[in-house]
Structure 1
Amino acid sequence: MYAVIFRAKPGIQDSEYGRTVTRMRELAFEKYGCLDFISATEGEGEQEVTISYWPNAQAISAWKSDAEHTLAQETGRAKWYDSYIVQVVEIKREYKFNS
């Protein structure tokens, strides 16, 4: 299993941003096999962190090159984010606790 960690400093996040985030999430699950997708904002919107989980590296590559996702990335760089970093990691081990 793999994870993609997206950490960003938000810029202008308008209503188009909200619609695009919803669509990208749907696309990731429905077309590319995303296993989970978690987002959080920290410090009154100063940092956004999104972690998505994927079955393999090929699914991540296909997702990254999707035409809709590519357009969202371009708009993100132009308007929605001041900066961001993307990290792709392979999960070697996982531990759980359930009470």
Structure 2
Amino acid sequence: MYAVIFRAKPGIQDDEYSKTVANMRELAFEKYGCLDFVAVTEGDQEIAISYWESEQAIKQWKSDSEHALAQELGRTKWYESYIVQVVEIKREYQFNP
């Protein structure tokens, strides 16, 4: 399993941003097999982690034309800066009482 960690310093996030985020999340799950997606904002930092079965699925997601447009809007309008990390999960531990 793989994870994509997106860390950003948000800029102006308007109604268009909220709609785009919802659409991108839906697209990731329905078309590219995203397994899970968690996002939080703390102070001036946004962190989103998405989980994927394969690196190929992540590459396909990154190159999707709708996602490419959202990325461009992110760079020009919604984020001051961001970093994306793709990591392979080697081990996972759980506690479920």
Q: TM-score normalised to the size of structure 1?
A: 0.97
CA distance in structure 1 between the partners assigned to 2:63 and 2:87 by the alignment? 18
Tell me which stretches of 4 or more aligned residues in structure 1 moved more than 3 Å.
none
Gaps of 5+ in 2: none
- Pick from 89, 92, 97: which aligns with 1:91? 89
Question: What does 1:9-48 correspond to in 2, within 5 Å?
Answer: 9-43=9-43, 46-48=44-46
Q: Alpha-carbon deviations, 1:28-80, whole Å to 9, x = none?
A: 0000000000000001xx00000000000000000000000000000000000
TM-score under structure 2 length normalisation: 0.99
Unaligned ranges ≥5, structure 1: none
Q: What RMSD over aligned residues (CA atoms) do the two structures have, in Å? A: 0.3
Provide the identity percentage: 76
Question: Which amino acid letter does the alignment assign opposite residue 57 of structure 2?
Answer: A
Structure 1 counterpart of 2:12, which letter? I
